[in-house]
Amino acid sequence: MSEYLVFEKMSTKKRAHNIIFHTHTVSGIVISVALYIIFFAGSFSFFRDEIVNWERGHTIEVEDEIGINVDSVIQNLSLTYPLYGRDIDLHHYYNERKISVSLSASKDSTAPEEAKVRAFFYMDTHDHSTATYQESYTLGEFLYRLHFFAQIPNRVGYYLSGFVAFFFLFAILTGIIIHWKKIISSFYVFRPWAKLKTIWTDSHTALGLIGFPFQLVYALTGSFFMLKTILVIPAVLVLYNGDQEKFSTELEYHPPAYELGYEPFQNDFTFNDYLDQTRERWGDFKITEVKVLNYGDVNMHVSIAGNMDYDHQLNGIGEIIYKVSDHSIVKEKSPLEGSSYLDGVKNLLFRLHFADFAGIGMRIISFVLGLVSCYVILSGVMIWLVARDKKNVSEKQRRFNQKVVYSYLAICLSMFPVIALEFVLVKLIPQAGMSFIYWTFFAEWLGLSIFFTLKKDNVFTLKWSLILGSIFGLMIPVVNGIITGNWFWRSWQKGFHQILIIDLFWILLSAVSLFTLYQLKIRKTPKIWAKNKKYKTVAVAKSR
């Protein structure tokens, strides 16, 4: 009886292990292509602002804050738009010269018709020129939005990337469970002369473990950002009885509203004084948003929001609202007193996802870990292919599996040369807008993916993806230097750090790609080693 119970217990454990293993495999294969795109495009997104400034030939002196003369900006807006009774929102999202400008419809019922229409555009803080979102579109914005499939209309891409991140969370956790008992010993094992599946498995396990914290953070934050609209539905229905307005207000997604006084305010004042007062009040406070509510009215208010310098305080969110008529403070959320739980959670999720809380070094580390995650995804698919290349699998099924991997590698690996080529094109054609980037990028990607798929040679796909990516990558600083004169040594002398970073980034990335290609050639496994039985697989862990 006891032997039967032991056998039953072992059988149950084995069945549970098989379920987890197959869940890990299936979830990984299903989401692998989408996940690779997310991580590869997302890795470049860490340098979104540098890419935008490189593309435009701009350099930013003041980072992480709005850095504008608010009085000058509003005076310039008044030349084009009737502003009385409007709410004006000036927002600094990214480290670039342009800020977003949002004008609400005027609350004055007697205002002219053109004042009753909302407006949104971007303004260059240097020359006050304005442009629509489509006119301001850049390759940096494209890659940033590609990593959550924003190009798919009607927010379908948002939800798709969210569910991919959610299932990736399952793949990560089940992978850790599968390797838990041997997680330490397996980490130190590398058998370069073993069979192909063993090589893929060793590298997949080791690099997957190294990137586990990084991947876990991005699986959690990515699924939260893209699926939060769906996730909050039960909370709205149960806790707020379907009152979405109340829910949004309590989460502070709606700005405060003030009634119009219907009496013009004519006293002399400057908006910049309120910004100066706020900086003096909170020291290293970075102002990222300025709102003028009920502009030109006796009940006009000025809202100033931002955060403390991340070098000093990670969750220092602050906001202050002044009433202009008597210069009183209507609302104050001091960043010096510590953030609320709500602000702390929201800000922490953003900071972890964007990796912008520890300077350029943190973003470089995140970029490398993003590429490591891409390799883990690729190696997982190769393990899947090699594991099914057996005699007990029908020839028809094996051919189908190979075709799947041909297409998979073609789509994934071709992203590298396509992105590099797109950098060259947007510099050659400075006026390239949204439609140009869309058409050229997806046409190049589709054409190269079809070519590699029809070639039916994974080694060829890898080799020429690295070669083309390296060639185009080395062309990027050359083309930039010829067209703009900003050769990387001149960018260094002039202090154009954003431009310099991109040029050096592509030189280094291309060099690493060529070195990887060289290593793949000289370290090719001799066939005799695979056949000779006297050569045994050596585990580093055992040798130690």
Asked which of 334, 352, 370 is the last residue of a domain, the reply is 352
Using DSSP bridges, classify how beta strands 98-103 and 328-333 pair: parallel, antiparallel or unpaired.
unpaired
- The amino acid at residue 248 is S
Q: How far apart are CA 452 and CA 432, in angstroms?
A: 28
**Are residues 76 and 221 both part of a single domain?**
no
Which two structure tokens, joined as six digits, stand for 39?
């991580």
Is residue 424 situated within a structural domain? yes
- The amino acid at residue 258 is Y
CA 416 to each of CA 47, 149, 362, 456, 517: distance values in angstroms, whole numbers, following the listed order: 16, 17, 22, 19, 14
Q: How far apart are CA 149 and CA 146, in angstroms?
A: 5
**Are residues 368 and 505 both part of a single domain?**
yes
**Are residues 128 and 90 both part of a single domain?**
yes
Of 293, 291, 302, 304, nearest in space to 260 by CA: 293
- CA-atom Rg of the chain in angstroms: 28
Would you write out the chain's pLDDT as a tens digit for each of its 544 residues? 555 444 455 566 566 655 665 555 555 566 788 999 999 999 999 999 999 999 999 888 778 888 889 999 999 999 999 999 999 999 998 999 999 999 999 999 888 888 889 999 999 988 888 999 998 999 999 999 999 999 998 889 999 999 999 888 877 887 777 766 666 666 566 565 556 566 667 777 777 778 888 989 999 999 988 888 787 777 666 777 767 777 677 666 677 888 998 899 888 889 999 999 999 998 889 999 999 999 999 999 999 999 888 877 777 888 999 999 988 999 998 888 777 777 777 788 888 888 888 788 899 999 999 999 999 888 888 887 777 777 777 888 788 878 888 998 999 999 999 999 999 999 999 887 899 999 999 999 999 999 999 999 998 999 999 999 999 999 999 999 999 998 989 999 888 999 999 999 999 999 999 998 887 775 554 443 333 333 333 333 333 3
Is residue 491 situated within a structural domain? yes
| Number of domains within the chain | 2
Q: How far apart are CA 134 and CA 177, in angstroms?
A: 46
**Are residues 394 and 514 both part of a single domain?**
yes
Is residue 236 situated within a structural domain? no
Residue 460 near residue 511, CB atoms below 8 Å: no
User: Which residues on adjacent β-strands are paired with residue 90?
Assistant: 101, 290
**Segment 340-358, tens digit of pLDDT:** 777 777 788 888 888 888 7
Which two structure tokens, joined as six digits, stand for 434?
């949204």
pTM for the structure as a whole: 0.85
Is residue 132 situated within a structural domain? yes
Asked which of 323, 352, 381 is the last residue of a domain, the reply is 352
**Are residues 380 and 495 both part of a single domain?**
yes
**Are residues 49 and 74 both part of a single domain?**
no
Asked which of 352, 387, 415 is the last residue of a domain, the reply is 352
Angle between helices 359-387 and 212-239 (to 10 degrees): 100
Is residue 238 situated within a structural domain? no
Is residue 536 situated within a structural domain? no
Q: How far apart are CA 48 and CA 327, in angstroms?
A: 39
- The amino acid at residue 173 is L
**Are residues 487 and 415 both part of a single domain?**
yes
Q: How far apart are CA 124 and CA 450, in angstroms?
A: 41
**Segment 16-42, tens digit of pLDDT:** 655 665 555 555 566 788 999 999 999
Which two structure tokens, joined as six digits, stand for 478?
């050359």
Residue 94 near residue 83, CB atoms below 8 Å: no
Q: How far apart are CA 328 and CA 345, in angstroms?
A: 30
**Are residues 483 and 379 both part of a single domain?**
yes
**Are residues 406 and 517 both part of a single domain?**
yes
Q: How far apart are CA 319 and CA 450, in angstroms?
A: 52
User: In angstroms, how far is the first alpha carbon of the chain from the final one?
Assistant: 43
**Are residues 322 and 454 both part of a single domain?**
no
Is residue 62 situated within a structural domain? no
- Phi/psi for 323 (5° steps) reads -95, 120
**Are residues 398 and 498 both part of a single domain?**
yes
Is residue 159 situated within a structural domain? no
Which residues form the domain of 19?
2-57+170-226+359-531
**Are residues 209 and 76 both part of a single domain?**
no
Which two structure tokens, joined as six digits, stand for 172?
């990560």
Q: How far apart are CA 301 and CA 324, in angstroms?
A: 6
